[in-house]
Structure 1
Amino acid sequence: MPEARDATPYDALLLLSFGGPEGPDDVVPFLENVTRGRGIPTERLKEVGSHYFLFGGVSPINAQNRALLQALREDFADHGLDLPVYWGNRNWAPYLTDTLREMTADGRRRVLVLTTSAYASYSGCRQYRENLAESLAALEAEGLVPPRIDKLRHYFNHEGFVEPMTEGVLASLADLPDEVRDGAHIAFTTHSIPTAAADTSGPAEDHGDGGAYVRQHLEVARLIADAVTARTGVEHPWQLVYQSRSGAPHIPWLEPDICDHLEERRAAGVPAVVMAPIGFVSDHMEVLYDLDTEATARAAELGLPVRRSATVGADPRFAAAVRDLVVERAAVERGLTVTPCALGALGPSHNVCPAGCCPARNPRPAAAGADSPYA
């Protein structure tokens, strides 16, 4: 990377996330936002929202995004990167359209977007791009001239994303009782998605069995497992497993589920398991409930010792990785040659999502890609 920490031609970074309720009265309206257009009755949404009510109706994701926002601003200031950072959500305040309206009023003309999803998939990338296109169209309908939007590349194999998770696995292993530590297995977890969506994730050339979504997760799991072996001298068996499935039961989703996996490991005589949520940037509801509550309770029933390792959250190394990605993309836009940071065999992801990347069942306009109507 160039020594100069220059963000030109960009004049702002937008942290774009999912959003979550911040009180009991927010839960159903939030879920209505998430499921809009699917015709799900309110009573069913209340059932779905029961996980949130266990935590006082508050999702931790907004507080975690505030922490990341602060970490990014501090890192940029400490390293001389003059770039304001804004925050917008898909499904709850601060809403994406409101944030883009604010950025437009502030005179921002070239904006980079960081999404809180590290991997290629429809829900983790293309859907965010569709939301961006919807918000840009809304601003144009108001007579505004919105900024040009570009999206930072997928960062699943950036050192600043992988290293904090590696240390989290090491800490979880160290926390296990001595007699089970060396025999512990590692269950690398991520959000299950329909197999059809997985198979078409990433650019067209990556489509196939599991697509880029599974391939990228397997690469991160291997990187962490290899690093753990190098630092401990112990080779821990591992597997990529899934969690947080939703949707109709007749539609195939990625498997095995984490709870099923724990049962299988116990039946096979495994003495302990470390659950490593590599598919998630922060400890939001899918981590707190599906792993810390549901999966941990199932492990207790089985008499299986488990630990759950940390996500990257607002780790300073992740903030530094975002700075690196910003400077890298800005240099590319200025026509400079750069050497992107990318661990492992897959190399750096694309800067611009190509046409046909992570397609939707019902195509909609998507910003920040080769097929964007907002050049």
Structure 2
Amino acid sequence: MSTAVDLHKVAPKHYDAVLLASFGGPEGQDDVLPFLRNVTRGRGIPDERLEEVSHHYRANGGISPINAQNRALKAALEAELAARNINLPVLWGNRNWDPYIPQTLQDAYDDGHRQILMVTTSAYTCYSSDRQYREDIGMALTSLGLDGKLAVDKVRQYFDHPGFVEPFIEGTAASLAKVRADLAAAGTPDAPVHVLFSTHSIPTRDAQAAGRSVDEPRSFEQGSAYVAQHLAVARRVMASIAADTAGPAPDWSLVYQSRSGAPHVPWLEPDINDAIADLAGKGVKGVVVVPLGFVSDHMEVVWDLDTEAKETCAGLGLAFDRAPTPGTSPLFVAGLVDLICERTIENHINDRPAMTDLGPWYDVAPAGCSQNFRGEKPAIAEHGSTIGLVAGPVVDKSVPAEAGR
């Protein structure tokens, strides 16, 4: 009789390197169009259209902040690992810009690495923040001829890990205090304030596929793990603030930003700017924006929030402050190293801390989770010490299909 696989916790392994994997971004005006071609590869979008949507990069000198932030995060991870006497080099690879994931993997293999543990700069569950990274690795290993030669596993999605959530609690409380101080200075100390937790909008179909599992059927708020995870973390943040603050806690809501794609395709709503206008119409005088869906100050944060949302608030006469992302917060960096230690034999951490009832999330992605509607691609499949490369739904062929992931 076959035994079901425990997707929540897998046996620790020996790893010889850590891969920090991220989205990547242009680092100069000449990089913008090539970068956008990479992001939209296979969709047949002409350069004229790409140039139309490049304005936020152009306005910042063609430079996305994400690469510099990842260099800083890589250095912080290296320092934290060294402080704990953990001998794991940190590699870095991007999906859409140099250093590219395939070259990073080839260099790793050439340098003698054989077992790599991947940490991504995406905390939540959906196609682009989880499965696509596993596809990137699967396609790279296949194209490089490294199937069965180089193993790559991935840490769990960490949306409710204390290292990710606690910096948001601190930052939201500080931003809330600033907005209230600004209102007091303007002579309206009791004016209503609203907290907007913002994350990247995704197609509704992708949202509904997030968290879907044939291994462990679960129901999620609003029919989506992606939405439910954000709502659960936002509630945890606000509960902590309410416990530490005198007086009633402000109202809050989850909003979305950075929508792209065809207008007829439904995406998650409401848009943050529409929500701000609605709040102003209801008498709200101050807004705290929390970039809950982001690890660091990506272009979507510095443009969509620090520029567009801030301008919307200014035009409506609303006090505004934006809470920081975790970035290289010592809490966040230590949390990422804890996630690494969950999966390693050396310096092993057996517990899986989680600050919401939805977690801890799976060490292993369940079969059917975050389906790719754009076409099947090879993806890494993890189970204990084995790695499989499969096309379509991620299923480990060493276990029964109903126990795959």
Q: How does 1:171-210 map to 2 (within 5 A)?
A: 171-176=174-179, 177=182, 178=184, 179-180=188-189, 183-204=192-213, 205-206=217-218, 209-210=222-223
SS in 2 for 1:240: strand
Q: Post-superposition shift, 1:250?
A: 0.8
CA distance 1:337–1:144, change in 2 (3 Å): closer
The answer (yes or no) to whether the contact 2:24–2:96 under 8 Å persists in 1 is yes
In 2, the alpha carbon distance for the partners of 1:181 and 1:86 equals 50
Is the counterpart of residue 321 in structure 1 residue 328 in structure 2?
A: no
In 1, the alpha carbon distance for the partners of 2:54 and 2:332 equals 31
Q: Which of 157, 160, 165 pairs up with 2:163?
A: 160
Q: Post-superposition shift, 1:210?
A: 3.8
Match for residue 346 of structure 1?
Answer: 358
In 2, the alpha carbon distance for the partners of 1:158 and 1:231 equals 20
In 1, the alpha carbon distance for the partners of 2:366 and 2:153 equals 13
- Structure 2 stretches lacking a partner, 5+ long: 1-11, 391-395, 397-405
> 1:220 is matched by which residue type in structure 2?
V
SS in 1 for 2:363: coil
Q: How does 1:20-99 map to 2 (within 5 A)?
A: 20-99=25-104
> 2:194 is matched by which residue type in structure 1?
H
Q: Post-superposition shift, 1:337?
A: 8.6
Q: Which moved more, 1:294-303 or 1:14-23?
A: 294-303
Match for residue 316 of structure 2?
Answer: 302
The answer (yes or no) to whether the contact 2:338–2:349 under 8 Å persists in 1 is no
Match for residue 4 of structure 1?
Answer: none
Q: Which moved more, 1:253-262 or 1:232-241?
A: 232-241
CA distance 1:90–1:337, change in 2 (3 Å): closer
Superimposed CA distance per residue, residues 28-47 of structure 1 (whole angstroms, 9 cap, x where no aligned partner) = 00000000010111111111
Query: TM-score scaled to structure 1, two decimals?
Result: 0.93
The answer (yes or no) to whether the contact 1:365–1:372 under 8 Å persists in 2 is no
Q: Post-superposition shift, 1:338?
A: 2.1
Superimposed CA distance per residue, residues 184-208 of structure 1 (whole angstroms, 9 cap, x where no aligned partner) = 1110000000111101101322466
In 1, the alpha carbon distance for the partners of 2:369 and 2:382 equals 9
In 2, the alpha carbon distance for the partners of 1:181 and 1:90 equals 47
The answer (yes or no) to whether the contact 2:285–2:317 under 8 Å persists in 1 is no
Q: Which moved more, 1:247-256 or 1:339-348?
A: 339-348
> 1:373 is matched by which residue type in structure 2?
L
Q: How does 1:106-145 map to 2 (within 5 A)?
A: 106-140=111-145
Moved over 6 A (4+): none
Match for residue 287 of structure 1?
Answer: 301
> 2:197 is matched by which residue type in structure 1?
F
In 2, the alpha carbon distance for the partners of 1:190 and 1:207 equals 21
> 1:156 is matched by which residue type in structure 2?
F
SS in 2 for 1:9: coil
The answer (yes or no) to whether the contact 1:200–1:211 under 8 Å persists in 2 is yes
- Structure 1 stretches lacking a partner, 5+ long: 1-6
In 2, the alpha carbon distance for the partners of 1:180 and 1:199 equals 41
Q: CA RMSD in A?
A: 2.0
> 1:113 is matched by which residue type in structure 2?
M
In 2, the alpha carbon distance for the partners of 1:252 and 1:294 equals 22
The answer (yes or no) to whether the contact 1:195–1:210 under 8 Å persists in 2 is no
Q: Post-superposition shift, 1:146?
A: 4.1
Q: Which of 218, 222, 225 pairs up with 1:212?
A: 225
The answer (yes or no) to whether the contact 2:341–2:349 under 8 Å persists in 1 is no
> 2:254 is matched by which residue type in structure 1?
L
